[in-house]
Amino acid sequence: MNAVQTAINPPATAAFDVERIRADFPILQLKIDGKPLVYLDNAASSQMPQPVIDRLVRYQTTQHANIHRAVHYLSETATFEYEEARRKLQHFINAREDREVIFTSGTTDAINLVMHGYGRKFIKAGDEIILTTLEHHSNIVPWQMLAEETGAVIRVAPINDAGELLIDEYEKLFNARTQFVGLIHVSNVLGSINPVKHMIAFAHAHGVPVLVDGAQAVPHMQVDVQDLDCDFYAFSGHKLCGPTGIGILYGRAALLEKMQPFKGGGDMILSVTFEKTTYNTIPHKFEAGTPPIAAAIGLGAAVDYLSAIGMDMIAAHELDLLSYATEQMNHMPGVRIIGTARDKASVISFAVDGVHPHDIGTLLNQEGVAVRTGHHCAQPVMQRFKVPATSRASFAFYNSMAEVDALIAGIRSVQKVFA
Amino acid sequence: MADYKALYQEVILDHNRKPRNFGTIEHASHHAVGHNPLCGDHINVTLNLAGECIDCVAFQGESCAICKASASMMTVAVKGKTRVDAETLIQEFLAMATGKLDLGSPNHIGRLAVFAGVCDLPTRVKCAILPWHTLHAAFNSVASTSTEAEDDPMHAPIGNA
């Protein structure tokens, strides 16, 4: 065990002071039934650091009004801060222009926007939409709804036993009827990082636009939408140390301009008469009604916080956590990791022989360890691995090696109860 | 804070390891399958009524320890009882699991009281009550039920069907 610990503490992360970072997250001080909280459910939602909490308080305390409307001081301030947050997000994912960054309520909302705005306008009966086995329900159900409505057909790219997409099979799905591709960047269940850049290039060679569900990628790595060359990229704020109720849809400007609005209402129009409405320019065309202004500004503060630490440092520390936890779990009899892709983010789904995931979840909670149990909104992945559910530990950059040890000790105590 | 350890008592762990009346009854007079779509668990309950009396009862399925032990102890508890008495016990168990039963007042819960702690774990209540739902559905010839379904007998007054 000592050898393992030595091996997983490379000097690369020596400058990464996890204890200093943990001090920024007040919730990590909580005790659960007298035990320190070990929060390993970051793939479901991450925690919020004090600078983001403070930013929300400052906004509500000194800057709040509705945006894009009045000429008074507060409205102008709120509008500036909201648009400034958009620019922060633009730089965070390296979009060409700020108008390519649309505030949505989250990843699900962003994908639904593309389904309604692009899909319903351009995808017809007999057209084919390619998805993958790894998709979260949020990148399956909207396309099924579209297929039902239009008569389009969904094709699914399979995975191997490690949880890696079979790229040959993906490529074979393309034909003259292929009109759209939806890809998950990082699997929320297995952690598999998909080779989306290659997959996007292949789709583009066939003239097919690609939407990437980046909900689980953006928290773990530097994402550059220009480098990926994706047409759409969707992600959520609350998995990124930001508030709930806010997310991003990046879209290529030329595509966004061709699309129809998703929701109608205020702020998304230039002029309205009962005869005709002229829609606003992008991104406002897709932001009907009063948006979650505070949440958007909070998300702006969150990406500032992450950028100050550095996404490369975050990725390196999380890889250490993943390697250490994987190594430990591989040596535990009766414990099986589900999802062993070569390229993985810090997400571990696992099964314990003879113990149902729900029992694991309840008993780990007794030790203060928070993991997710269930089908993770990805039932096709469960079906592929022939399990009804899994337990999932997902690590963030503020998790420590000691917390991995707490997880391992917790799993051992679960095994003892069921021995 | 809930005493989680109390839930995983030896009697529950024992019924999970060695479930009683595990299997299916051929040519059963009543049967139903219960699903918990939130976790994918399912329980199949079969029983034979001889007149109004439960002659034999069995269950099968894939589920967590709480659900399996609850099903196992349920079959032990209702075997030989009349349908009316079993329905009373279903009502009492559901009330206990949702924290609405006063264990101090007269009841028929007996050893099933080991499940009382589940009421402090809202996400696990459904695990404990799925077998009881399913038994109720079997009595009422509902072939399949779900903890989330609209026609879930839980949404109808139990025992009045």
DSSP of A185-224, one letter per residue? SB-TTT-BBP-HHHHHHHHHHTT--EEEE-TTTTTTS---
Distance between CA A238 and CA A3 in Å, rounded? Answer: 37
Asked if A388 and B41 come within 8 Å (Cβ–Cβ), the reply is: yes
Comparing CA positions, the residue from A82, A45, A38 lying closest to residue A64 is A82
Average model confidence (pLDDT) across chain B? 86
Q: Which of A86-95, A376-385, B31-40 has the highest mean pLDDT?
A: A86-95
CB proximity list for B111: less than 8 A, separation 6 or greater: B11, B73, B77
Q: Does residue A418 belong to the interface with chain B, where contact is any CB pair within 8 Å?
A: yes
A158 contacts A133 by C-beta, under 8 angstroms: yes
Average model confidence (pLDDT) across chain A? 94
- Chosen from B3, B7, B8, B42 to mutate, greatest number of chain A CBs within 10 A: B8
Q: Which entry of A153, A166, A316, A377 is annotated as an active-site residue? A: A377
Largest Cα–Cα distance in chain B?
Answer: 46
Distance between CA A30 and CA A27 in Å, rounded? Answer: 6
Average pLDDT of the residues in A258-264: 94
Contacts of B10 in chain A (CB under 8 A): none
pLDDT digits (tens, 9 = 90+) for A158-207: 999 999 999 999 999 999 999 999 999 999 999 999 999 999 999 999 99
Distance between CA A355 and CA A353 in Å, rounded? Answer: 6
Residue indicated by tokens 């017809």 = A124
pLDDT of residue A14: 53
pLDDT of residue A408: 98
Average pLDDT of the residues in B49-69: 94
Q: Select from A355, A362, A379 the Cβ nearest to the Cβ of B124.
A: A362
pLDDT of residue A267: 84
What number of other Cβ atoms are within 10 A of residue A34's Cβ? 7
Contacts of A388 in chain B (CB under 8 A): 39-41, 62
Distance between CA B140 and CA B161 in Å, rounded? Answer: 7
Comparing CA positions, the residue from A275, A153, A134 lying closest to residue A216 is A134
- How do A390-394 and A347-352 pair as beta strands? antiparallel
Distances (CA, A) of A367 to A18, A56, A343, B4, B116: 22, 32, 30, 10, 21
Comparing CA positions, the residue from A369, A362, A360, A366 lying closest to residue A415 is A360
Q: Does residue A419 belong to the interface with chain B, where contact is any CB pair within 8 Å?
A: no
Give, as one character, the DSSP assignment of residue A322. H
Asked if A389 and B8 come within 8 Å (Cβ–Cβ), the reply is: no
Asked if A374 and B13 come within 8 Å (Cβ–Cβ), the reply is: no
Q: Does residue A388 belong to the interface with chain B, where contact is any CB pair within 8 Å?
A: yes
Q: What is the CB-side half-sphere exposure of residue A210 using CA atoms within 13 A? A: 26
Q: Does residue A35 belong to the interface with chain B, where contact is any CB pair within 8 Å?
A: no
Comparing CA positions, the residue from A236, A267, A249, A262 lying closest to residue A66 is A267
Q: How confident is the model at residue A230 (pLDDT cuts 50, 70, 90)?
A: very high
Tell me phi and psi for residue A391, to 5 degrees: -100, 145
Structure tokens at A396: 């963030």
* Strand, coil or helix: B56: strand
pLDDT of residue A85: 98
Q: Select from A357, A363, A388 the Cβ nearest to the Cβ of B8.
A: A363
Contacts of A358 in chain B (CB under 8 A): 39, 64, 66, 123-124, 127
Structure tokens at A110: 């962003």
B residues 31-70 lying closer than 8 A (beta carbon) to A: 38-41, 62-66
Structure tokens at A68: 């894009």
Asked if A374 and B38 come within 8 Å (Cβ–Cβ), the reply is: yes
Residue indicated by tokens 């918990």 = B36
Q: Is the pLDDT of residue B4 over 90?
A: no
What number of other Cβ atoms are within 10 A of residue A75's Cβ? 16
Instruction: Indicate the pTM of the whole model.
Output: 0.90
| Cis peptide upstream of residue A283 (ω within 30 degrees of 0) | yes
Contacts of B8 in chain A (CB under 8 A): 359, 362-363, 417
- How do A128-132 and A178-184 pair as beta strands? parallel
Distance between CA A368 and CA A408 in Å, rounded? Answer: 12
- Chosen from A353, A359, A387 to mutate, greatest number of chain B CBs within 10 A: A359
pLDDT digits (tens, 9 = 90+) for A297-356: 999 999 999 999 999 999 999 999 999 999 999 999 999 999 999 999 999 999 999 999
Q: Smallest CA–CA separation between B103 and chain A, in Å? A: 24
Give, as one character, the DSSP assignment of residue A154. E
A residues 288-347 lying closer than 8 A (beta carbon) to B: none
Q: Select from B16, B39, B62 the Cβ nearest to the Cβ of A374.
A: B39
CB proximity list for A114: less than 8 A, separation 6 or greater: A211, A232, A234, A249, A251, A259
Would residue A241 show up in a list of annotated catalytic residues for this protein?
no
Distance between CA A73 and CA A57 in Å, rounded? Answer: 18
Q: Select from A33, A358, A363 the Cβ nearest to the Cβ of B39.
A: A358
